[in-house]
Amino acid sequence: MKKFTVPIVIAGVVTAVVALVAFGGNASPRDPMTGATEFNIPVQDAALVTDGDILYQASCASCHGSDLRGTDFGPSQLSVVYQPGHHPDESYASAALNGVRSHHWDFGDMQPIAGLSGADMDRIVAFIRETQRTEGFEPYPPR
């Protein structure tokens, strides 16, 4: 009996590795609007990311989630529709300054967020982009 166990275990490991390479631990979902599957987000400045994390947690996390994955009050910022080719950095500044008319989801409108400077928004965007870069995107619509 024992002599079959080792080959079976090896076959299992090989299958798992082949599956991971073929289907990609890192396979990115497709943005339904732009068709993009490659996002090429650059590594963000570490100091901006650290400060942006603090600002994001204070001003955005109550709706978009402390891990960016959304709450009952707002969508996940890791949804593929928030990739930079679809929602560029300026759309973040605009969302905070002007609010957002609901168009992708059923959470309702986002009201403007008071008290954030342009430099603050650069920090928040750096934090969001870095998290999108390291965590990858979720499909849209969510499965």
Q: Which of 15, 34, 57, 62 binds ligand HEC (CB under 6 A)?
A: 62
Burial 81-119 (b: 16+ CB within 10 A, else e): bbbbebbeeeebbebbeeebeeeebeeeebeebeebeee
User: How many C-alpha atoms does 72 have within 13 Å on its Cβ side?
Assistant: 0
Residues with Cβ within 8 Å of 129's Cβ and at least 6 positions away in sequence, in order, are 41, 42, 44, 84, 89
If binding is defined by CB under 6 A, does position 114 make contact with ligand HEC?
Answer: no
Rounded to an integer, what is the distance from CA 117 to the centroid of its chain? Answer: 23
Q: Which of 102, 112, 117, 134 binds ligand HEC (CB under 6 A)?
A: 102
Q: Which of 28, 29, 33, 63 binds ligand HEC (CB under 6 A)?
A: 63
Q: How far is the CB of 12 from ligand HEC (least distance, A)?
A: 43
> 74: which strand partners?
71
Q: Which stretch binds ligand HEC (CB under 6 A): 2-10, 30-38, 108-116, 135-143?
A: 108-116
Residue 49 or 74: the one with the smaller Cβ distance to ligand HEC is: 74
If binding is defined by CB under 6 A, does position 89 make contact with ligand HEC?
Answer: no
Residue 18 or 135: the one with the smaller Cβ distance to ligand HEC is: 135
Q: Which residues bind ligand HEC (CB under 6 A)?
A: 59-60, 62-64, 73-75, 87, 91-92, 95-96, 100, 102-105, 107-108, 110, 113, 116, 124
